[in-house]
Amino acid sequence: MKHIFRGALLAAALAAPLGAASAQVTDLKIMAPAAPGGGWDQTARSMQHVLQSDKIVGNVQVLNVPGAGGTIGLAQFVNGSKGDPNALIVGGYVMVGAIITNKSPVNLSMVTPIARLTGEFEAIAVPANSPLKSMADLVAALKADPQKVSWAGGSAGGTDHITAGLIAKAIGVDPTKINYIAFSGGGESLASILGGKVTVGISSLSEYDAQAKAGKLRILGVSSPTRLPDAKDIPTFKESGVDVEIQNWRMVAAAPGITPEQKKTLAEAVDKMVKSKAWTDMLAQKGWANTYLAGDAFDAQLAKDITSTQAILKDIGLAQ
């Protein structure tokens, strides 16, 4: 084992000055800007697993740098990995919001985005005995008095809050008037919905899935562009007349200041990984949807997300 590893290091050292002559990455450090166990950490460790088991990359290390919605890890990555062709960072839509609300000195334009890997869609749920039967009912209730509709979701300024704000805006209700109640954990907010303490819950669809199947919750709508293959009976926000589409995605990015060739090598490795059977199996096992998007298409989508997030956070009063 050790010999192979030393050999790999040596090969990496030799390959670097030659300007990545071989399109093979031998040694990779993936930063998960979160504590072990969370979504980004699991993404990084799943990547590690697949890249190594399919021998796409010789040796992969995962480094956890938790804190402040990933912005601490991002700052460390931007400052510490400049020009390093063997460094990747995992991130996601949550980071886009955290950079804005935390007034982070570093942002995603300072790294080299490689690809969007997975994504989840947001859903709105009510208890089974709620008088709200559809998105239309919710819209009517919001228009009548936004204060009377309490929303249970994740922390203020997070994806759930942003989605609630977008919905209010789309139906012509002042986003600062929504009665959003933040919970620190999925279990706690779910309990408050099941217990009928709040009017609606807003979170990723997977959080509500099991409860909905058991008939304890009713899902009013989902934020995907079209109906989801494994949830065909749930209408999208759009078809209910609420023009909101949002995806809570996870991505991988490379270090700032790498050459286009180095970026290409990394992108190819990621592409190979995403198309492998091991990755497909991993996603199925974790219940993550593959929303792979790379190259210019991803860059454009990222830019769009950043602009729209900036706008909505301003509207709900969390950014200047």
Partner 1 sequence: MSDTPISSTKGPDKARFVIAFGLAILAFVVGWDAWRLSSVNSFSAVGPAAFPTIIAAGLALLSIATAIEAIGEGAQERPRDEIGPMAWVLAGLIGQIVLLPFLGFSIATGWLFAATAKGFGRGPLWAHFLAGAVLCFVIYVIFAKGLQLALPAGPLERLI
Partner 2 sequence: MDTFAALAQGLSVALQPMNLLFAFVGVMLGTAVGVLPGIGPALTVALLLPITFKLDPAGSLIMFAGIYYGGMYGGSTASILLNTPGESSSIVTALEGNKMARAGRGGPALATAAIGSFVAGTIATVGLALIAPTVVDIAISFGPEDYFALMVLAFTTVSAAFGSSVTRGLTSLFIGLSLGLIGIDLQSGQARLSFGIPDLLDGVEVTTLAVALFAIGETLSVVAAGARAEEVIEPVKGSVFMNKEDWKRSWKPWLRGTFLGFPIGAMPAGGAEIPTFLSYALEKRLCRKPDEFGNGAIEGVAGPEAANNAAAAGVLVPLLTLGLPTSATAAIMLAGFQQYGLNPGPLLFASAPDLVWGLIASLFIANVMLLVLNLPLVGLWVRLLAIPRPWLYGGILVFATLGTLGANPSLVELGMLLIFGLLGYVLRRYDYPIAPVVVGLILGPLSEQQLRRALAISVGDPLVLFQSPIAVTLYALAALALLGPLLFYLLTGRKAPVGGDED
- Name the residues that contact partner 2, by CB under 8 A: 35-37, 41-42, 45-46, 49, 64-69, 71-72, 75, 101-102, 104, 147-148, 150, 155-157, 161, 179, 181-188, 190-192, 194-195, 197-198, 209-211, 213-214, 216, 285-287, 318
Binding part of the chain for partner 1, among 11-19, 55-63, 94-102, 306-314 by CB under 8 A, reads 55-63
Output the smallest distance, CB 45 to partner 1, in A: 8
Single-letter amino acid code for the residue at 70: G
Output the smallest distance, CB 214 to partner 1, in A: 32
Q: CB under 5 to 8 A by kind: which of partner 2, partner 1, none does 24 bind?
A: none
Output the smallest distance, CB 225 to partner 2, in A: 25
For partner 1, the closer CB: 45 or 238: 45
Binding part of the chain for partner 1, among 133-141, 170-178, 278-286, 295-303 by CB under 8 A, reads 170-178
Q: CB under 5 to 8 A by kind: which of partner 1, partner 2, none does 61 bind?
A: partner 1
Q: CB under 5 to 8 A by kind: which of partner 1, partner 2, none does 303 bind?
A: none
Pairing mode, strands 112-127 and 289-294: antiparallel
Output the smallest distance, CB 204 to partner 1, in A: 23
Q: CB under 5 to 8 A by kind: which of partner 2, partner 1, none does 276 bind?
A: none
Residue 199 and residue 149 in contact, taking contact as beta carbons nearer than 8 Å: yes
For partner 1, the closer CB: 268 or 315: 315
Q: Judged by CB under 8 A, does residue 141 bind partner 1?
A: no
**Quick one: which of 132, 130, 120, 214 has its CA closest to 159?**
120
For partner 1, the closer CB: 16 or 136: 16
**Quick one: which of 292, 197, 306, 252 has its CA closest to 25?**
252
Q: Judged by CB under 8 A, does residue 161 bind partner 1?
A: no
Q: Judged by CB under 8 A, does residue 79 bind partner 1?
A: no
Q: Sign of torsion, CA 291 296 302 304?
A: negative
Position among 34, 62, 126, 283 found at the interface with partner 1 (CB under 8 A): 62
Output the smallest distance, CB 48 to partner 2, in A: 8
Q: Judged by CB under 8 A, does residue 63 bind partner 1?
A: yes
**Quick one: which of 252, 204, 288, 249 has its CA closest to 97?**
249
Binding part of the chain for partner 1, among 59-67, 118-126, 212-220, 284-292 by CB under 8 A, reads 59-67
Q: Judged by CB under 8 A, does residue 180 bind partner 1?
A: yes
Distance, in Å, from the CA atom of 24 to the CA atom of 59, rounded to the nearest integer, reads 12
Instruction: Write out the residues near partner 1 by the rule CB under 8 A.
Output: 2, 36, 45, 61-64, 176-180, 317
